[in-house]
């Protein structure tokens, strides 16, 4: 299937591609249908490792099926748990890249979505788990069923991050109407 290079997923993946090398440990904080899990496991390769979180069993099932269609991937642990517990699964300073794709699965139940409080806890833990030079990719959605609370809370949190330790780069679809997604990259310096 042909991908649209202007889609937000392609935008943040173009950055992630420059960050991950074979053998790395990566985390997909919002597994969903597993497309980011697959992407991370392709980059980390058989000598790497991916931890993938979701709170819906259906996400684990569809991700497992997707991964089975591919080869030469990093081993993936599919975890039925909130990303707010990610610090129980990895050691501080060991992770190269963490991906958050916030909100709900468009094809699923829109009421099962990420929330400001748990997202911020997960970001705090994720920053501890990252190694120096690693990054978090965070894609924020708003409007419609997502509302604005999570977007506003997360942006406030990011604004307060210590600028000596972290570089936060926000992109925006400047001329796109309504409430376009906001891709963010947080680098641990
Ligand atoms: N990246 C996914 C993909 O490629 O298909 C799409 C992710 S979707 C926008 C958001 C996902 O986050 C949903 O599957 C939802 O169940 C999950 N989610 C919501 N709250 C969560 C939490 N606290 N911990 C982990 N996953 C969560």
**35 in ligand 1 pocket by Cβ < 6 Å?**
yes
pLDDT (tens digit per residue) in 4-51: 888 999 999 999 999 999 999 999 999 999 999 999 999 999 999 999
> Residue 88 domain-assigned?
yes
Distance in Å, CA 44 to ligand 1 centroid: 21
> Residue 183 domain-assigned?
yes
> Residue 146 domain-assigned?
yes
**87 in ligand 1 pocket by Cβ < 6 Å?**
no
Cα atoms in the Cβ-side hemisphere of radius 13 Å centred on 157: 19
> Residue 75 domain-assigned?
yes
Give φ, ψ of 100 to 5 degrees. -115, 125
**32 in ligand 1 pocket by Cβ < 6 Å?**
yes
The Cα 159–Cα 154 span in angstroms is 9
Work out which ligand 1 atom sits closest to the CA atom of 56.
16
Distance in Å, CA 164 to ligand 1 centroid: 30
> Residue 40 domain-assigned?
yes
Distance in Å, CA 53 to ligand 1 centroid: 8
For the chain, how many structural domains are there in total?
A: 1
> Residue 3 domain-assigned?
no
Which residue range(s) make up the domain with 89?
8-188
Cβ-Cβ contacts under 8 Å for 8 (sequence gap 6 or more): 139, 173, 180, 181, 183
Q: How confident is the model at residue 3 (pLDDT cuts 50, 70, 90)?
A: confident
pLDDT at 1 over 70: no
Tell me whether residue 20 is exposed, middle or buried, using C-beta atoms within 10 angstroms of its C-beta: 0 to 12, 13 to 18, 19 or more.
buried
> Residue 2 domain-assigned?
no
pLDDT (tens digit per residue) in 74-128: 999 999 999 999 999 999 999 999 999 999 998 889 999 999 999 999 999 999 9
> Residue 1 domain-assigned?
no
Residue nearest (by alpha carbon) to ligand 1 atom 4 = 35
CATH number at 133 reads: 3.40.50.150
Distance in Å, CA 19 to ligand 1 centroid: 22
pLDDT at 54 over 70: yes
């Amino acid at each position: 299937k042909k991908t649209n290079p202007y889609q937000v997923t392609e935008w943040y993946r173009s950055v992630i591609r420059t960050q991950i090398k074979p053998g790395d440990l990566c985390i997909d904080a919002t597994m969903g249908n597993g497309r980011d899990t697959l992407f991370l496991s392709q980059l980390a390769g058989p000598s790497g490792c991916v931890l993938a979180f979701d709170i819906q069993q259906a996400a684990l099932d569809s991700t497992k099926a997707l991964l089975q269609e591919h080869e030469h991937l990093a081993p993936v642990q599919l975890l039925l748990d909130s990303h707010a517990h990610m610090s129980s699964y990895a050691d501080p300073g060991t992770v190269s890249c963490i991906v958050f794709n916030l909100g709900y699965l468009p094809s699923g139940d829109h009421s099962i979505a990420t929330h400001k409080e748990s997202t911020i806890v997960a970001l705090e833990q994720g920053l501890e788990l990252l190694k120096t030079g690693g990054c978090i990719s965070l894609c924020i959605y708003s409007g419609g069923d997502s509302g604005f609370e999570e977007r506003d809370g997360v942006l406030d949190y990011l604004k307060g991050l210590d600028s000596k330790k972290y570089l936060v780069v926000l992109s925006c679809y400047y001329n796109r109407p309504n409430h376009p997604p906001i891709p963010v990259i947080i680098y641990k310096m």
